[in-house]
Structure 1
Amino acid sequence: MGKVDENKKKKKETLFNSAYELFITKGINSTAISDIVEKAGVAKGTFYLYFKDKYDIRNKLIAHKTHELFHAAKLALDQAPDPVTGLDEQLIFVMNHIIDTLVLNIPLLNFISKNLVMGALRSVLLTGERTDNDFYETFLEMVRQDSYEYQDVDVMLFTIVELAGSAGYNSILYQEPLPIGQYKPFLYRSVRLIIDSHRVKY
């Protein structure tokens, strides 16, 4: 990466970090673009090089933050002391890691709300950037390496992540239907059933 590209990346990251801090402290509605650029220490024109408006940076931030969650969970999976095998166990490991991270970071949970699926499936569409650490590609590789064949894998991943995101959100914040520690076994049983329903039966 050249110096110009490196500087662009740094400015974008600074805008991301500044916007995120303002969004979780002041709220999106109370944050103006002028607040973001002032905190980032860049000109207003620089903001518009990367983002259309504050809702564009919010959407890309949600995708960025959820992508980071999935990437950290995949690293933990790769570094697990005992290898985790099988698509169902691997996906549950990833979801469990993400849920445990969000339990410890309620501002992040509130910010991404129920949009975990952005990190799993739509981060490329929202950010316009494909990375080597894209979870969707990781997921497809997990599917390829599994001993079963699967159908409608996009639908399977979408359903699992939407379920875990929405149910986990309510369980962590409101203890509904149960506190997250008690709810996990029910959630993961549902995840296993979803995975099983997408297996090709011969």
Structure 2
Amino acid sequence: MNLEEVKKFLDEQKENEEVKSYLQGLSEVTLDGATNFLESDEGKKLLQPKLDSYFTKGLDSWKANNLEKLIDAEVKKRFPETDPKDIELQEVKNQLKQIQQDKLRESLKNKALTVATEKKLPVALIDYLIGDSEETTLDNVGQFEEVWNSQLQVLVSEKLKEGGITPEKKEHTATFTIDQIKNMSPEEINKNWEAVQQVMASNN
């Protein structure tokens, strides 16, 4: 008798008392029977999806209730919130620092202007000569002086060459400024060569 024949027989004899008794005996469930079934491959196949579903739901619920709190706590631990008083204090410190820097720059600018004026240097570019300290600023002014005088000498020489004039010493001397020398013609430079040399020497 195959399975289909068994099914047909039980269906036909379902009202038979002996058959009913047999079927009821098969439907009785015991703890040992349930345990054995759940440990079998068939039982595991049936139970595992249920367990996975319950675990997923439980994990989602835990995340919703606890994960955000844990993240917030860790963020605060790594990046403590700054007290408003500390922020205000830092702003005041930054303002004071800026004021000090402005005062220092103004002082250095005045120093550079004084030195440049004494050396008869142009002051239009003085802002570019200001450094981080007085030493750096004076060093910048000194380098600018060297470049300026060097270029001025080149200018004087070029003017003399343009006029084809050889400088001659004169008995009388006059006093000129660097700006006046720059505007002289070759003839004027030659005429006042000794005075020009004195001015150039005083600016070296």
* Range class of TM-score, shorter chain: under 0.3
What's the TM-score once normalised by structure 2's chain length? Answer: 0.23
Q: Which of structures 1 and 2 has the bigger CA Rg? A: 2
